[in-house]
Structure 1
């Protein structure tokens, strides 16, 4: 088994979540294709540089691209994340620089979630993690997008919980939304506000869980730098890396 390949336990967890192919020409071995995709995500290698043991790189890339467009990778991630009890929800975001290969969309074309910020051409990954630091919701925007503006959509449909975030999420509308859902927001106010909101220090320190998540996520070199031109493909890469973190968590508890 190669270094980044799925273990038997990981494969047993993910295999039932993949699309069925009841008829027609047999599909190329799903496990080999997934191992190839994880190799690319982890090492950052170009698709055409895949080792021969994974088969033709075109087969791997086409499967990755087709299933990203169909939302398969996101659904796999969501199925695993559904097991989270979510007694706590921690929100944050992280900037990712876009490689020149990812830039260059046509003027007037679709938004590929690449914007210009102080770091140059960037995208921003938004996440909600649970009390174990495992991701339960993902989103992708341009690098200059406001964190607090994305937060309501991130929390939409999630169970009521303790919501912890930094000052960048200080927005009365967001705090009211959390309260209306039956939750409790622990978000400090901006320092220039006359009335300061108190936040439980022990809860606020738990934000290190989401910071550690981003550290683990960016071990996948194709996440740490964005090479994908399409937003759907890059979000699929983030979802697959997050899926791998969930698989390891499942494996460690069995």
Structure 2
């Protein structure tokens, strides 16, 4: 088994989440293809440099790309993330530099979620992790986009959360009200220039490092740490698949 290949335990978790094989059509070995995709995500190598043990790179690339556009990889992540109790939600974002190959996409038509921030062309990954530090919600936006703009959609998708924790970048009365309307407590410090400062539970707020640690783990996947995909749908699929791998490794360690 190669270094980044799925273990038997991980494969038993993921295999039932993949699309059924069409009748009468022999599909290339799913496990081998998926291992090839993880090799690319983890090493950041160009698709053409995929080792021969994974089969033709075109097969692996086409499967990743086709299933990304069909929402398969995001569905795999969502299914695993649905196992979370979601009692606590820690929200944050991380800026990702866009490689010139990604930034060269044609303007107009397809969504790219690439913008110009202080570090150049970039994308922002917005994430929510639970009390175990595992990702439960994901989205991407242009690098210059405000964290507050991405937060409502993430918050609205939480259905059983008691506590929402975020840093000062998410301080907005509308956002606080949105959280409280869902029956959760907001642990978000006020901006320092506000006359009235809102207090937060320090013990809960200190756990915010869980989301920072998630981003650190996510960026071990070099094709996530630097964005090479031109389309938002394919980059989000890569982020979702890498995040799903964090879930399968957690399951493996507890079995």
1:204-223 aligned at under 5 Å gives the runs: 204-223=205-224
Q: Give the equivalent residue in structure 1 for 2:252.
A: 251
User: Is the CA contact 2:168–2:188 (under 8 Å) kept in the aligned structure 1?
Assistant: yes
1:100-179 aligned at under 5 Å gives the runs: 100-158=100-158, 159-179=160-180
In structure 2, list runs of 5 or more residues that go unmatched: none
Q: 1:168 and 1:107 mapped to 2: Cα distance?
A: 30
Deviation at 1:234, TM superposition (A): 0.5
C-alpha RMSD of matched pairs (Å): 0.8
SS of the aligned residue for 2:109 comes to coil
SS of the aligned residue for 2:177 comes to helix
CA deviation string 1:96-128 (max 9, x = no partner):
000000012323333300000110000000000
Bigger drift between 22-31 and 181-190 goes to 22-31
User: Is the CA contact 2:95–2:123 (under 8 Å) kept in the aligned structure 1?
Assistant: yes
Deviation at 1:81, TM superposition (A): 0.5
Q: 2:60 and 2:138 mapped to 1: Cα distance?
A: 24
TM-score, scaled relative to structure 2 = 0.98
User: Is the CA contact 1:42–1:221 (under 8 Å) kept in the aligned structure 2?
Assistant: yes
Deviation at 1:21, TM superposition (A): 1.4
User: Is the CA contact 1:160–1:178 (under 8 Å) kept in the aligned structure 2?
Assistant: no
Q: 1:251 and 1:168 mapped to 2: Cα distance?
A: 35
Q: Give the equivalent residue in structure 2 for 1:65.
A: 65
Q: Give the equivalent residue in structure 1 for 2:198.
A: 197
SS of the aligned residue for 2:95 comes to strand
Q: Give the equivalent residue in structure 1 for 2:33.
A: 33
Q: 1:70 and 1:107 mapped to 2: Cα distance?
A: 22
SS of the aligned residue for 1:102 comes to helix
Q: 1:212 and 1:107 mapped to 2: Cα distance?
A: 34
User: Is the CA contact 2:138–2:240 (under 8 Å) kept in the aligned structure 1?
Assistant: yes
CA deviation string 1:130-183 (max 9, x = no partner):
001000000000000010111110122312320000000001111111111110
1:72-87 aligned at under 5 Å gives the runs: 72-87=72-87
User: Is the CA contact 1:93–1:125 (under 8 Å) kept in the aligned structure 2?
Assistant: yes
Q: 2:194 and 2:69 mapped to 1: Cα distance?
A: 44
User: Is the CA contact 1:67–1:73 (under 8 Å) kept in the aligned structure 2?
Assistant: yes
